[in-house]
Structure 1
Amino acid sequence: MNTTKEILIIDDDSKNIFALSAVLKARKYKCVSALSARQGLEILEANTNIGLVLMDMMMPEMDGYEAISEIRSRESIQHLPIVALTAQAMTGDKEKCIEAGADGYVSKPVNVEELTKLIQKFAQ
């Protein structure tokens, strides 16, 4: 994901979006955000400049697992790398996210260096 592509942050907590956006923008990444999985899916369908999705896994209505499944089922966006962000950091949670279709996993509170390495890994 090069710096001309945008990172979509999907999280139901506006404070998390604000903090992540600030950190990523300081590192010269462009960010857009959604406060729900449904809103995130709408943005993904409308914005072809998204290069990476940061997905909160625990959201009301549609959680991150359902949203990842939906993204992977849509031909136009199924190729996008998705990094799961979750406060669930128990044994097996990372594997569960990867099995659901996420390409990477970062537990909350987010380790910025770890997240940056994952973003760079998906740079294209």
Structure 2
Amino acid sequence: MKKKILIVDDDPRNIFALKLTLKARGYAVETCTTAQEAFDILGSGHHFSVVLMDMMMPGIDGYEAVRIIRNTPEIKNIPVIAVTAQAMPEDRQKCMEVGADEYVSKPIDVDLLITTIEKFS
């Protein structure tokens, strides 16, 4: 069975590029543009292998979204990979502290992303 990935990003260009790349590699992909949509999708009983969470979004940002996922019993065990343009060492630390399982900085290195996703199979 191919892995199903949820991309959460407020920028349609990022979603488009990531979705195209991941589908070309054989992944099933769903997308949404807000954290609230992500909670609704994750809570609807669909099984996801990994969530790619943009950390800089309006409203509920990725940091808060990861905290909420980790505190929601039905979805707390879904692996979350933080995806952010903030690439300083302390940014990675901040992502891990809120409960992200891994961290990938933008611009995304596709091979690194695929390797990271594959850790969670």
TM-score category of the 2 structures, normalised to the smaller one: over 0.9
Distance across 1 between alignment mates of 2:119 and 2:14: 22
Distance across 2 between alignment mates of 1:91 and 1:105: 11
How many residues are paired up?
Answer: 121
* Equivalent residue letter for 1:20: L
Distance across 2 between alignment mates of 1:108 and 1:47: 30
The residue that corresponds to 1:19 in the other structure is 17
Structure 2: stretches of 5+ with no match in the other structure: none
Q: TM-score, normalised by structure 1?
A: 0.94
* Equivalent residue letter for 2:31: S
How far off its partner does 1:50 sit?
1.3
Structure 2 residue corresponding to 1:66, chosen from 64, 67, 81: 64
Distance across 2 between alignment mates of 1:120 and 1:35: 24
* Equivalent residue letter for 1:109: P
How far off its partner does 1:98 sit?
0.6
How far off its partner does 1:51 sit?
1.5
* Equivalent residue letter for 1:57: M
* Equivalent residue letter for 1:11: D
Distance across 2 between alignment mates of 1:47 and 1:108: 30
How far off its partner does 1:90 sit?
1.6
How far off its partner does 1:48 sit?
2.2
Q: Is 1:40 the equivalent of 2:33? A: no
* Equivalent residue letter for 1:55: M
Structure 2 residue corresponding to 1:101, chosen from 92, 99, 105: 99
Residues 20-44 of structure 1, C-alpha deviations (whole Å, 9 max, x = no match): 0000000000000011111111110
* Equivalent residue letter for 1:115: L
